[in-house]
Chains A and B, each alone.
Chain A
Amino acid sequence: DAKTTQPPSMDCAEGRAANLPCNHSTISGNEYVYWYRQIHSQGPQYIIHGLKNNETNEMASLIITEDRKSSTLILPHATLRDTAVYYCIVRVARRNTGNQFYFGTGTSLTVIP
């Protein structure tokens, strides 16, 4: 699976948009980009995923560049409860070797009042 690079930490003012970048320059054509977050020591929480097109759900938006070498997770109106570690993962599911995720170190986002 392609490696990802994320900034170790970011701050965001409450109510503003949080833009979390991720580089995945070695991504291949059939690899999806997933985003999860982990609040304190809770289980990782699924946020969103995409392949080529931009995606939006009730939690966030995912913007993937045309060459697919990077993406940005956008939390449109950050709240204090969005303070967490955000993980960007790229993965291709292989029929015979499993669908496991490989987590990196993520970005620690702090939302400031």
Chain B
Amino acid sequence: DSGVTQTPKHLITATGQRVTLRCSPRSGDLSVYWYQQSLDQGLQFLIQYYNGEERAKGNILERFSAQQFPDLHSELNLSSLELGDSALYFCASSVGTSGTSTDTQYFGPGTRLTVL
């Protein structure tokens, strides 16, 4: 158990819909990362938040957005869903000390999204 929790575990929805994935980081961690893992593309970094502020963006679509709340939990919002958005979505957290190369990330169990 990494200490990172994600809900829901599974999500099935239809094309065009909007969903919200939730992540609670480990106690004391200030950084939250979101990754997408689809069958044909492996683990792809989406976005990082540090202490409530966006820190880095990866291959995140404009239909997707995220935020980190004052209690440090994070939500990933996916809208206008397409079949190709079906994937595993992982959240990771780290202490997040800026510029520290040994900032180890700990991953949650993931949310499996299926778009029908």
Could you list which residues of chain A lie within 8 angstroms of chain B, going by C-beta atoms? 30-32, 34, 36, 38, 41-46, 49, 51, 87, 91-95, 97-105
Q: How far in angstroms is the closest Cβ of chain A from B23?
A: 11
Is B107 within 8 A of A43, CB to CB?
yes
Supply 8 further A-B pairs (C-beta < 8 A) apart from A45-B107, A100-B33, A100-B58.
A43-B2, A43-B107, A43-B109, A46-B2, A46-B104, A87-B43, A93-B99, A103-B42
**Which secondary structure characterizes the binding site on chain B?**
strand
Is A94 within 8 A of B110, CB to CB?
no
CB contacts between A and B, total, < 8 Å: 76
Chain A CB within 10 Å, residue with most, of B4, B43, B99, B102: B43
Instruction: Please count how many residues in chain B sit with their CB below 8 Å of the partner chain's CB atoms.
Output: 33
Is B42 within 8 A of A43, CB to CB?
no
Assembly CA distance A86 to B92 (angstroms): 17
Across the A-B interface, give the 3 residue pairs with the lowest CB-CB distance, nearest first.
A98-B56, A43-B107, A95-B99
